[in-house]
Structure 1
Amino acid sequence: MPGPGHFLRRNRAKHGGTHAQQATCTHHSDSCSNDRNSKLVKGTIEMKKTLLATAIAGAMVYGATAAQAATVYDQDGTQVDVYGRINMMLNTGGTDREPTAKEIADNDYAAGDVVKQSGTEINNNGSRFGFRARNQVSSDLSVFANAEFRFDADTRANQTLQTRSTFVGLDSDSMGRVTVGNFLSVYYTAVGSVFDVPQYQTGPILGGYGAVNSQADSIAYSTPNLEGFQAHVQAQHASGNDAAAGARDNSSALSWIGAVNYTWQDLYLGLAYAQNRNLGEDNDRGADYQFNAGRNDQEDLWGATASYQFTPEFAARVKYETWTDNADYIQGDNDPSVDSRIDNVWGLGATFNYGMGNIYGDYFRVRYVNDDLSSSNQWVLGATYRFSTPMFAYFEVYDADFSSDQTFEDFNDDLLYTVGLRYDF
């Protein structure tokens, strides 16, 4: 019996985000090419409302996991799967950058250095493996657990596994779901993931991408699906333990995240809020429990998104994200020009399934906190080609700041090109 994560993966491509993927495709930009997958696509379209609602629920539990999972144990109501992916890419072009204040303070670079990033390089792109388990306690109640790890597929030695997500929980059709541990925030799942379409570089997703937006020491509750409507609340706990008593505030603190989403036929709507509390070493407590690094205390985040499946092949999406309070904060020295924090973002995108893969594009209008910095126009175009169910190739072009007065030579110099191969198992 497939779990919610299975339906998530079957639905993602429909809306170009985590909430909608066709058949056995495994990423927002995936597609299915053979006859078997085409039949599954038709079946998915027929059941789209039910499956899409289930996909939202599954995303809150499993996040974006691979579709080619191998079941290694399935007895007495308990199922254990092993899954993973190898994702390799080649990047070239783009723009170089200035070092951050932290890099200068750590003596990684000197002030005035230019950090080269525009050369050609082969890179790992989110390769990972994981384990997930589920036990059916009764007809209405199941328990689950998940552990996922990341590694650098382009490196031979000195490997260090990174924990991407580790959590346990209970799931009831009538009562809802409780998840405890380190998992994707409900903000990302409801809003951010809709635009997490490209394989590599996309525009701003405030609050972090799925790859970095797992929230440790968290507990979340999701309501049952109520005619397409679901609500989610998440609390992240910060402890004052392991700090010198009296030297700092040793009391515990909570940071809250909330989201609601609604699915009706081909329409998806999402709204989310994330409370940002800076509880790091420079403030009260010994551990850094900010929702988003580089933001000040109480710079809270709001986001809204919508996507619509106009035809079985074409879907479009739109979003708006904004920080509620941009407190005085300077990155680096006292030069306000180095404060490049984002104030708000508008995004517009679309995905077209051409049969052997997807063609997708996103445009973002980005406004910065520092009024001396002009708003930027960012865009990405990409395409995938699926060789088989587990493997596909992708090609993407990204521009971090397009201007209408750019010459063709300047325009071409700024582009970042990515080509890659991804295999899911």
Structure 2
Amino acid sequence: MKKTLLAALIGLAAINPANAATIYNQDGTKVEIKGSVRMLLQKVSQRRTDLKDADSELIFRVEQNIGNGFSALANTEIRFTKNGTIGDEVFTKYLYAGFKHDDIGTLTFGKQLTTGDDVGLSDYTYNLGGINKVLDASDKVIHFRSVDFYGFNVGADYVFGDATKKDSNNDETANTNGYVVGLFYNKKFGELGFAVDAGFSRNKKSETGLKADEYYQDGFTIGSQLSYGSFAFAVDYAYRKAEGNNAVSWRTASADRGGKVINQTTEGFKFNRIREVEIGAKYQVTERSKVYADYIWGRAEQADGSVFAAINEPAKLNAYIAGIDYRFNQYVVTYLEVGRFRYKFDGATYRKDDKYGIGMRVYF
């Protein structure tokens, strides 16, 4: 087995990035490995140009055939950058195991993505787009995803909260559990393609960590895409709301007040409900290159009785993103992406956040 593993690892460069490299396959056990190195050179308003690790990853997957269409599986995803400095820490991003049936779907348990991660169709960007508000990952998840039935498939997740019931003061702690559901449809009719995604999540949160202060946070996203030949167009709508007067987080902006730049996190404004719409389009110019553009509209409203009562009007966002990529081959892609984000709070215009990036991804 050791010789098989070594030979396969040496030959990884010859593997299509869309498929994992099988490094062991014997007696019903299959071991696969895949990954990517993702580097991004980016300039953001009021910050120096920076070189970043944009989620480089190494994934190991084991599958054991147990008969009658069933198999057991285990998956580990390793990341290399945790605190912003490239390669500063190797850590386990996801770790889970479960079962798969060829005609039913997959049921897994562990630290993993939820169904919510797959919801949304309009984000054609590499880094700057995306508005999905459905809970997309957690540390302790039971996840089910069905196989396709006539273009349809469904997903459902249960998210566990903190197992500790009492704190050091013998107060009952919050049970921050939740659930996620999703429905997907994707079908092609010749060169014409149509897709719809919808997802909803509800999870408990508590700012103090106590059960007495628990509240629900809901997330919802729905999107549709129409494609024909080399062209695709999609629209997503996303919504997130906290129960009562509690807050939800919403993006970050750089403020310009009287010529003084302030890096202002929007979380400080205690928004209670946020809504966003994203419109995306892409066109495959050649076999190796495509162009794409996204527009994002956003609106965030405060809870009644917020301590930030001076902010009387909803916050607003308009964002414009465009990019082009080029694939040297099936393993290497480079891209240029620019974005302009415009925020308004209480009728006052905040500084324009401009972002420029050149990226490279090498798959194996």
Same fold (TM over 0.5): yes
Which whole-Å CA distance do the structure 1 matches of 2:147 and 2:267 have between them?
A: 47
Are the equivalent residues in 2 in contact too, given 1:203–1:380 (CA < 8 A)? no
Q: Per the alignment, do residues 174 and 215 of structure 1 end up closer, same or farther by CA in structure 2, a change over 3 Å counting?
A: same
1:180 to 2:109 alignment: yes
1:188 partner SS: helix
Give 1:344's match in structure 2, choosing from 263, 272, 275: 275
Which whole-Å CA distance do the structure 2 matches of 1:337 and 1:143 have between them?
A: 45
Match of 2:294, as an amino acid?
D
1:199 to 2:122 alignment: no
State how many pairs are aligned.
Answer: 313
TM-align CA RMSD: 3.2
Give 1:71's match in structure 2, choosing from 22, 34, 37: 22
Give the C-alpha shift of residue 374 in structure 1.
3.9
Which whole-Å CA distance do the structure 1 matches of 2:220 and 2:361 have between them?
A: 33
Kindly report which structure 2 residues correspond to 1:115-130, keeping only aligned pairs within 5 A, or say none.
Answer: 118-130=47-59
Which whole-Å CA distance do the structure 2 matches of 1:269 and 1:240 have between them?
A: 36
1:232 to 2:155 alignment: yes
Unaligned runs of 5+ in 2: 1-15, 250-265, 303-311, 345-349
The one-character-per-residue Cα deviations of 1:24-71 (angstroms, maximum 9, x if unpaired) are: xxxxxxxxxxxxx9xxxxxxxxxxxxxxxxxxxxxxxxxxxx536332
1:91 to 2:91 alignment: no
Which whole-Å CA distance do the structure 2 matches of 1:248 and 1:171 have between them?
A: 41
Kindly report which structure 2 residues correspond to 1:278-357, keeping only aligned pairs within 5 A, or say none.
Answer: 278-279=205-206, 282-284=209-211, 297-311=215-229, 313-325=230-242, 327-329=244-246, 338-340=269-271, 343-354=274-285, 355-357=287-289
Are the equivalent residues in 2 in contact too, given 1:217–1:237 (CA < 8 A)? yes
1:393 to 2:334 alignment: yes
Which whole-Å CA distance do the structure 2 matches of 1:269 and 1:415 have between them?
A: 31
Give the C-alpha shift of residue 183 in structure 1.
1.4
TM-score, length-scaled by structure 2: 0.76
2:216 partner SS: coil
Give the C-alpha shift of residue 349 in structure 1.
0.4
TM-score, length-scaled by structure 1: 0.66
Say which structure is richer in strand.
Answer: 2
2:117 partner SS: helix
Give the C-alpha shift of residue 361 in structure 1.
1.3
Q: 2:183: which partner in 1?
A: 260
Are the equivalent residues in 1 in contact too, given 2:320–2:339 (CA < 8 A)? yes
Q: Which runs of 4+ in 1 moved over 4 A?
A: 153-157, 250-253
Are the equivalent residues in 2 in contact too, given 1:367–1:374 (CA < 8 A)? yes
Are the equivalent residues in 2 in contact too, given 1:203–1:379 (CA < 8 A)? no
Give the C-alpha shift of residue 251 in structure 1.
8.5
Which whole-Å CA distance do the structure 2 matches of 1:343 and 1:151 have between them?
A: 32
Q: 2:172: which partner in 1?
A: 249
Higher relative contact order (CA 8 A, sep 6+): 1
Give the C-alpha shift of residue 175 in structure 1.
3.4
Q: 1:103: which partner in 2?
A: none
Q: Per the alignment, do residues 167 and 197 of structure 1 end up closer, same or farther by CA in structure 2, a change over 3 Å counting?
A: farther
Say which structure is richer in helix.
Answer: 1
Which whole-Å CA distance do the structure 2 matches of 1:226 and 1:381 have between them?
A: 35
Match of 1:82, as an amino acid?
I
1:361 to 2:285 alignment: no
Q: 1:220: which partner in 2?
A: 143
The one-character-per-residue Cα deviations of 1:186-234 (angstroms, maximum 9, x if unpaired) are: 1121x14x344322222433246xxxx4222110223342222222211
Are the equivalent residues in 1 in contact too, given 2:242–2:272 (CA < 8 A)? no
Q: Per the alignment, do residues 253 and 400 of structure 1 end up closer, same or farther by CA in structure 2, a change over 3 Å counting?
A: closer
Unaligned runs of 5+ in 1: 1-36, 38-65, 97-117, 286-295, 404-409
Give the C-alpha shift of residue 129 in structure 1.
1.0
2:124 partner SS: coil
Q: 1:166: which partner in 2?
A: 95
1:277 to 2:204 alignment: yes
Identity of aligned residues (%): 21
1:303 partner SS: strand
Are the equivalent residues in 1 in contact too, given 2:236–2:279 (CA < 8 A)? yes
